[in-house]
Amino acid sequence: MKLDLATAIVAAGDDGVAKAAKCLQDGGLVAFPTETVYGLGCDAANAGAIARLYQAKGRPSFNPLIAHVADLAAAERIGRFDGDALKLAAAFWPGPLTLVVPKAENCPVADLATAGLDTVAIRVPAHPVAQAILRGFGGAVVAPSANRSGHVSPTTAAHVHADLDGRIELIVDGGPVSVGVESTIVACFDQPVLLRPGGLPREKIEAVLGRALAMPVASDPARPLAPGMLASHYAPRTKVRLEATGVEPGEALLAFGAAALPGVDATTVVMNLSAQGDLAEAAANLFGYLRALDARGAAGIAVMPVPRHGLGEAINDRLRRAALPRG
């Protein structure tokens, strides 16, 4: 299949939203902002478009996609929500939470997008541009993060362009995103299970449920791991070294907080996720700074410790993946 498409970039005004909705109706691939990261969307009911989407990303097709809809009423046409799922939807939608639930009868999402599972991942994004596109289009939109498979997720339209120019029809530029890490994924079957830490901190979810979230059990087929949690998923090319308490010669530094590290001098490239030690600011900066440091061609990227509570759980999860050996 040809991939030398002319990729248009439009601003996220009324005109951009209308173009995006039309493009989705025509089976096109549209990158658009959500509050977590930019998504690459297509019509969830159009298997041909979904096949092109997997190809544009270079993504293994066994990795299922999240269906995005404008509200809970639309979500209930796709999946079956038990009491816990309804509680979480009421508390956190629209927002950075994805719920994995059993498919509804006559679920319109094509099997190719759910990788043959009898469950479906559903998200109601809060970003006004995403909301406007979903309402303008009318149906469900499946959307993985708008990066080439294995790259870090895009938090600006420029990141999307760098990865997908010539491979998709349209990029809607809504400026930098606010959250900066992907949605938290919770499976709601008998017992809610945290499949992926993300932009909604675990503590907030547990407060609404009134109990702790279970962790996935890899060997239990009734509680599948998010199949997309491939080990090398969030990978800069430059070697990443975690929990750094000093900087080696030639290394760049991804800092957090105000502490000064031994080994840093005037030649060291330093980017600080949050000098104030603010985890929300750090999450918003994470992927962009990883991309920027990766482009510097340093001998390595040393990363200072980041606290593990709240959004720190998702930040540490993405950093751990970024530091894994490639393969």
Is residue 295 left, alpha or beta, with left meaning phi > 0 and alpha meaning psi from -120 to 50? alpha
Of residues 46 and 183, the one with the C-beta less far from ligand TXA: 183
Exposed/middle/buried for 45, CB within 10 Å: 0-12, 13-18, 19+? middle
The DSSP call for residue 187 is E
Pair 193, 185: CB distance under 8 Å? no
Q: Which amino acid is at 317?
A: D
34 contacts Mg ion (rule: CB under 5 A): no
Quote the tokens at residue 10.
Answer: 């439009």
The answer to whether 106 is a known ligand-binding residue is no
List residues near ligand TXA by CB under 6 A.
34, 36-37, 39, 63-66, 98, 100, 114, 117, 119-121, 123, 143-145, 182-183, 185, 195-196, 224, 226-229
Concatenating the DSSP letter of every residue in 308-319 gives: -STTHHHHHHHH
Pair 20, 112: CB distance under 8 Å? no
CA atoms within 13 A on the CB side of 326: 8
The answer to whether 238 is a known ligand-binding residue is no
Q: Which residue number is nearest to ligand TXA in terms of Cβ?
A: 228
Smallest CA-to-CA distance from 63 within 4, 144, 160 is with 144
The answer to whether 153 is a known ligand-binding residue is yes
Q: Which of ligand TXA, Mg ion, none does 37 bind, CB closer than 5 to 8 A by kind?
A: ligand TXA
Give 252's strand partners.
301
Q: Which of residues 134-153 bind Mg ion (CB under 5 A)?
A: 145
Smallest CA-to-CA distance from 68 within 102, 105, 94 is with 94
The answer to whether 38 is a known ligand-binding residue is no
Of residues 96 and 312, the one with the C-beta less far from ligand TXA: 96
Minimal distance, residue 97 CB to ligand TXA, in Å: 9
36 contacts Mg ion (rule: CB under 5 A): no
Minimal distance, residue 123 CB to ligand TXA, in Å: 5
The answer to whether 234 is a known ligand-binding residue is yes
119 contacts Mg ion (rule: CB under 5 A): no
Of residues 21 and 314, the one with the C-beta less far from ligand TXA: 314
Pair 63, 116: CB distance under 8 Å? no
Smallest CA-to-CA distance from 75 within 34, 44, 51, 49 is with 44
Of residues 231 and 258, the one with the C-beta less far from ligand TXA: 231
Give CA 114 to chain center in angstroms. Answer: 17
Of residues 85 and 100, the one with the C-beta less far from ligand TXA: 100
Of residues 23 and 143, the one with the C-beta less far from ligand TXA: 143
Minimal distance, residue 277 CB to Mg ion, in Å: 27
Minimal distance, residue 287 CB to Mg ion, in Å: 10
The answer to whether 145 is a known ligand-binding residue is yes
Point out the annotated binding site for ATP.
59, 63, 119, 145, 153, 196, 234
- Site residues, Mg ion (CB under 5 A): 145
